Amino acid sequence: MTYTIFGESHGPAIGVVLSDVPPGIPVDEAYIARELGRRAPGRNDLSTARREADRAEILSGVFQGRTTGTPLGILIRNVDQHSSDYDVLREKARPSHADLPANVRYGGFQDHRGGGHFSGRLTAPLVAAGAVAKLYLREKGILVGAHIASIGGIPDDPMDMAEPPMETLAYWNETDFPTLNRAAGQAMQDKIRQCRTEGDSVGGTVACAVTGLPMGLGQPDLDRNGETIFARHLFAVPAVKGLEFGSGFRLSEMRGSRANDPWIPGPKTETNHNGGLLGGITTGMPLVFRVAFKPTPSISLPQKTVSMVTGEETVLELGGRHDPCVVHRAVPVVEAAAALAAAELLEGGRRG
């Protein structure tokens, strides 16, 4: 299962084509809609007021409620665009945004309106594609779930990596702000509201688990390696700047005698510091990882920048509607990328 996302924020439509979809997967359109709803903005005071209908139309690859095995096209029409909000972007490069590098990369031909192809809106088709992948994985007993591990340094309780609370995932799947510790979640939300008030934004981390993957998938090379497959899918998610499997960066501070996960009959491992992958191959333990999201670059506070026209210094004051934090809306996006990665890993990774 591979995907190609197309579309610009203020063009006619965005969408995705999924190739190499296994045939016969029951496609629950209400489920896809619910997943899109989890990502959609405008549901509470924590995100931008832009209302996106995000109605996904399946164009192909599904017949009588099941995947056919041929490319599955999904279309989401764009509505509620305020293109004029973005006129300033033709000239002033937003710091921490791709505006200026994209201007060089695409020779100035890119659609700048609303961030164009770089808009966070392009994660909607990713969530739709991920929903199809999740439906496929569920048939095989594989579950994907994530929680907000931190916002602006405020941590949630850590996930048990050897035995993630997947039964809670159904709950997460319906909440707007999935944390393991309710009080931590409240503190995070307070922080987000405070940032909004101050015209600022804040980053965070998302922890994710994929359970049910059998031992023995993947291999130690560039393209069929469990870690490289997940890394490729996750770093393709906008605003992700870090990724660690299992105990990740903390492993770099540990001794082998503590970091090594002892094998016990099963076989499985007692702990899961390696996050379910050894040598690029699944261990049969939950595949767990954590990703870091930078703070939303679009903030209302005045920012120093340069003009893309004159090259001279200027000040950017952004109007429009912006998220003070994307992390909670990114939870289904991370799950989608993980589901697509898990599907690719199951099918043997890239070939040829």
Residue choice 53, 105, 139, 319 for contact with a copy of itself (CB under 8 A)? 105
- Does 193 interact with a copy of itself (rule: CB under 8 A)? no
Q: Tell me which stretch binds a copy of itself (CB under 8 A): 31-39, 161-169, 181-189, 308-316.
A: 308-316
Q: Is residue 209 within 8 Å of 164, Cβ to Cβ?
A: yes
When asked if residue 336 is in the footprint of a copy of itself (CB under 8 A), the reply is no
Other CB atoms within 10 Å distance of the CB of residue 185: 21
When the beta carbons of 175 and 314 are compared against a copy of itself, the nearer one is 314
Binding map of a copy of itself across residues 247-276, x = CB under 8 A, - = no contact = xxx-xxxxxxx-xxxxxxxxx-xx--xxx-
Binding status of residue 306 toward a copy of itself by CB under 8 A: yes
DSSP 117: G
The nearest distance, CB 323 to a copy of itself, in angstroms, is 10
DSSP state of 110: S
User: How many other C-beta atoms lie within 10 A of the C-beta of residue 25?
Assistant: 22
Length of the chain: 352
114: left (phi over 0), alpha (psi -120 to 50) or beta: left
State which amino acid sits at residue 223. D
Could you tell me which stretch among 80-88, 132-140, 181-189, 300-308 binds a copy of itself (CB under 8 A)?
A: 300-308
Would you give the binding string for a copy of itself spanning residues 315-334, x where CB under 8 A is met?
Answer: --------------------
Stretch of residues binding a copy of itself (CB under 8 A), selected from 83-91, 134-142, 160-168, 288-296: 288-296
121 binds a copy of itself (CB under 8 A): no
Q: At its nearest, how many Å lie between a copy of itself and the CB of residue 139?
A: 13
Whole-number Å distance between alpha carbons of 333 and 336: 5
For 268, half-sphere exposure in the C-beta direction (CA atoms, 13 angstrom radius) is 15
Residue reference for tokens 């990740």: 248
Q: Can you tell me which of 35, 54, 111, 156 binds a copy of itself, judged by CB under 8 A?
A: 111
The C-alpha angle 333, 337, 343, rounded to 5 degrees, equals 140
- Using the minimum distance from each CB to a copy of itself, give the nearer residue, 13 or 187: 13
